[in-house]
Structure 1
């Protein structure tokens, strides 16, 4: 597929019959970040805004400092996370996402291309234009692939919701906001102080 043709196609998710795999993904040369969700192409609508990057930096640094000397590792986008349902072969994987932040505690899931298999914790930071993808499309594949925790941060509203996987289904926490401290069950011992995250935004 030519680059120009592909770029035109990724304005919206492709139809069900246009299924792509990670093997296809590896052949593309594009100027923008794309993700595959159940074989459909989704592209980044625009570069993340400054508020998104500030929040991402604060949360990543908190996790990075906490995880020093521990077996878990934290990664920030762009970082490919392949979510196979059955086979780990490139031609069989049809979901490849780039979470804003993820924590992987099984070193065998890390290879030179990124992560293959479910991270323990995924954090997405909402931006204008990507809310449906994060709240609906990614929610479904994160739940199906067995990601233990999925955090959703809304910088403009200064809120955080934790989706915890229980018996194969996500259960949402209450809405946390400035002044709260939130603890992760997937990354034992990690506590994020939302004063540090949102203090300059209210």
Structure 2
């Protein structure tokens, strides 16, 4: 078992990341390592499963993209490896045994108390710079989804949607997700 010897002044790479097999989950953001928190809350996981199901139900009929939920490694660069909650990848060349190499078409992050700042700031900038076409930030407590779409190399807010709304997935022309199905947690 190979555990990382983490130091704050060392610059880590995807090659370092691939050698770590201590059973813990990590992300590398511009060479800095972040140990991920323990498993997310029950509500977080139910919402993740519901959203992944809604997307997969659509994708099953058109077979041009794949949806995957965490944990999945996304290698954005030599020194940046992240594990978003949900990704959609439409380019089969980006799908490898270890995960997605390059920017997914859609990234979804579901906020947890310990990740909200990271998801809104650092990951927002990472995904924007990497070329992600669409980024959703899901707030399970407030039951809101903020949808950002890439326009001229920058994320622009497409809208903020609540549980009563339907949201179009911008990377597809003909699908909308009913958020009441996503936020249905049976009071978890």
Q: TM-score, normalised by structure 1?
A: 0.86
- Kindly indicate whether residue 42 of structure 2 is the aligned counterpart of residue 50 of structure 1: yes
Structure 2 counterpart of 1:97: 82
Classify the secondary structure of the residue corresponding to 1:83. strand
Do 2:167 and 2:178's aligned partners in 1 also have CA atoms closer than 8 Å? Answer: yes
Measured in 2, the distance between the counterparts of 1:4 and 1:174 equals: 40
| Maintained 8 Å contact 1:121/1:187 | no
CA distance in 1, matches of 2:175, 2:10: 41
Given candidates 1, 9, 29, the residue that maps to 1:37 is 29
State the distance in 2 between where 1:108 and 1:33 align.
Answer: 25
Q: Aligned with 2:156: secondary structure?
A: strand
Question: What number of residue pairs does the alignment pair up?
Answer: 185
Q: In structure 2, the residue corresponding to 1:26 is in which secondary structure?
A: helix
Work out the CA distance in 2 between the residues paired with 1:53 and 1:123: 13
- 2:3 aligns with 3
Distance 2:52 2:13 in 1: 29
Q: Which has the higher strand share?
A: 2
Quick one: distance in 2 between partners of 1:78 and 1:121?
16
Aligned to 2:120: 135
Call closer, same or farther: CA 1:4–1:166 in 2, change over 3 Å.
closer
Match of 1:21 in 2: 13
2:73 aligned with 1:73, yes or no?
no
Q: Give the gaps of 5 or more residues in structure 1.
A: 85-92
Structure 1 segments (4+ residues) deviating >6 Å:
none
Match of 2:55 in 1: 63
List gaps (5 residues or longer) in structure 2. none
Cα distance in structure 1, aligned partners of 2:26 and 2:4:
14
Q: Distance in 1 between matches of 2:5 and 2:94?
A: 33
TM-align CA RMSD: 1.7
What's the counterpart of residue 90 of structure 1?
A: none
- In structure 2, what is the equivalent of residue 82 of structure 1? 75
TM-score for both structures, normalised by structure 2: 0.92
